[in-house]
Amino acid sequence: MAAPRPRVVILDYGSGNLRSAERALERAGAAVSVTADRVAALACDGLVVPGVGAFASCMRGLAAVDGPRIIDRRLAGGRPVLGICVGMQVLFECGVEGTEETMGCQQWPGVVERLTAPVVPHMGWNTVVAAPGSRLFESVAAERFYFVHSYAARRFKVDEAAPCVPPMVTWAEHGERFVAAVENGALSATQFHPEKSGKAGATLLENWVRQL
């Protein structure tokens, strides 16, 4: 008898691009539902936090469905969470867009700011420098992934003296270096869109689903 597929919830808080993520995760081997239901989001094997658009509007949408507390409770229990694009950005301390500063979910230190580059937004395929030992990038560390963003975390402070294992940070470059992905225990995230990244993105999602 085949093992049951891991149950994954894509948190529906008004952000776009939910259906392509749903299809990609289903192909990766998960049983997927798209919902804002708090009980389902807490009970599933893996929670995906998508995100498209402005940091501030995504945080308002998340707050409306109790998203920050759902994320916090899952992580307190070691339950996996995956953030994608702005769904990654909102995991940092705050985001700055123009003169507006918005508090994020504060899972990681750092500020999400506008990229300094000749062309913004950063739109298209790019390579990454995967963190040594990365499980997300297993067998795809040398591949290209699809990015669409104007803002990013440009620094990630790692406390190497802390008693816990430090986060694994993957970097990319567009005008300047920025955080492309983070793996931090049960919490993982990508600045790029794995669901739009062809075979490489499909493999990355398979790697995440396999960990659930």
List 22, 183, 195, 206, catalytic entry: 195
List 85, 113, 122, 206, catalytic entry: 85
Active site annotation includes 85: yes
Q: Are 142 and 125 in contact (CB under 8 A)?
A: no
Tokens 């190497």 belong to: 160
What's the chain's Rg over C-alpha atoms? 16
Q: How far apart are CA 171 and CA 6, in angstroms?
A: 29
Cα 22 versus chain centre, distance: 15
Active site annotation includes 122: no
Residue 167 burial (CB count, 10 A)? 20
Question: Of all helices (H) and strands (E), which one includes residue 83?
Answer: strand 81-84
Active site annotation includes 58: no
Q: How far apart are CA 197 and CA 4, in angstroms?
A: 26
Q: Are 47 and 70 in contact (CB under 8 A)?
A: yes
Query: What residues are paired with 74 via a beta bridge?
Result: none
Query: What residues are paired with 182 via a beta bridge?
Result: 169, 189
List 122, 149, 174, 193, catalytic entry: 193
Active-site positions read 85, 193, 195
